[in-house]
Structure 1
Amino acid sequence: MPLHELDTRLAPPTAADFAAARAGAPPLPVSPAPDFVAIEAAAVEGGSFAALVRRLSPCHCGTLFGAAHLARRLAPARTVRSAGARLDDGAPRALVGDLEVEGDLSVGAALVVAGNLSVHGVLRDAGPASRIVVTGHVRAGHIDSSGRILAGGDVAARGLIHGERHDDALEALGTIRARAVVGDEHRFEAGAGFDVEQRPLHAGACGEYVFDRRDPRHMDQLLTAFGEHWVQRLAPATRS
């Protein structure tokens, strides 16, 4: 399925569905708790999962996370495999089930997956409109984030995880796992802690597990460990 067409039709919700979604949504370390009043008001209008996400677009990631828990009760899970894509037209995409992307995935709007997200290449999200919300695990080759990522499981990269923008965060209820995590005024929260190959040798502003891109000592350590190609690919000195 082309990712531009990604969506899931939802069955009409019942009072039992709303109650189960409220009970099943776990507490979040950073994002506010889901606004289930807004979720119920949007869900009773019916339609697809993407339509529900669109109605909730003014809401924070926690509410989209709650909507994903509701959607899991309203549609059977399926696995979608697709080539890489740029989802930068502002339209939300949503899936009940697992999404596997063979190449790179660039996200510029809301992408909500009630399941797991696997990207074989680079997962990028850009700007304040970009929100990646996944009830399960997020796995990628590398992750380059300047938006918000919220995962109910682990966030894992085979290579580097990089985040920038002080208003945004990468939030995992499980473990954040990578060869190294690099931040530029970006918040990282891992409910089950960090599992990293490299951590800063010198204390910095981003905590003991996160390299500060603004700290020359941290960047020197990264360049020594990984080489210029990897570091500049994920954490360039300047962005266009």
Structure 2
Amino acid sequence: MTLTWILLVLTGIICTETKMVHVDIGLVGCSDSDGEYMYGLDGEEVGHADFTKGKFVMTLPEFADQLKYEEGTYEGAVANQQICKQNLQVAIESYKSPAVAEAPPMSSIYPRHEVKVGTGNTLICYITGFYPPRLTVRWTKNNKNVTERVSTSQLRPNLIDGSYDQFSTLKFTPQEGDMYTCTVEHSALEGPMTREFDVEVSEPSLGPSVFCGVGLTLGLLGVATGTFFLVKGNQCN
């Protein structure tokens, strides 16, 4: 059995000029095998400690103003992991290894941009509402496993019910007939949960062309009719 110890710190920041309230999030989590240390703002991740690469990673989008954390942030994350695991051991001994509450995830799959054959795009698999915060995500293309160009976000805590959300993305170049799947495995599911995405090319609508054709025909007919009456009028004079 694996138990997880989580410390969630919330800080409210009030901007007096615009009367807006921002929520700063600090998350420290650990289990007997792994850990997490993450900062966020207004429900979005700002950065996290990558314990595999041994550094603190900023995850703001490219268009955002870049922030920098002071030196020693990663070292502080490592120290917090040690404290977290000590607290976890105390909790296990105090509560006599209680059963872990579970909530099954829900998932959806969708493209980041409008799909155009031959144009690079990103498929997003959004997984939400699960607990404990540990799952596996697998991608396939035409029933073959895909591991390249796949990335997975850090866990995102849901402040309302204590569950977690996560994104997994796959960069791809769509071709007609291709089928992609995102499969999620979690302890609260009876079996793997799979969502499919088929690359379909929509036929161009004939409506605008027909409308323009009819309009052009009526326009030409109107010009011909006007010319006819103009000629007849000149003959009468």
Indicate whether the TM-score tops 0.5: no
Q: TM-score, length-normalised on structure 1?
A: 0.21
Q: TM-score, length-normalised on structure 2?
A: 0.21
Q: Which structure would you say has the larger RCO, counting Cα contacts within 8 Å and 6 or more residues apart?
A: 2
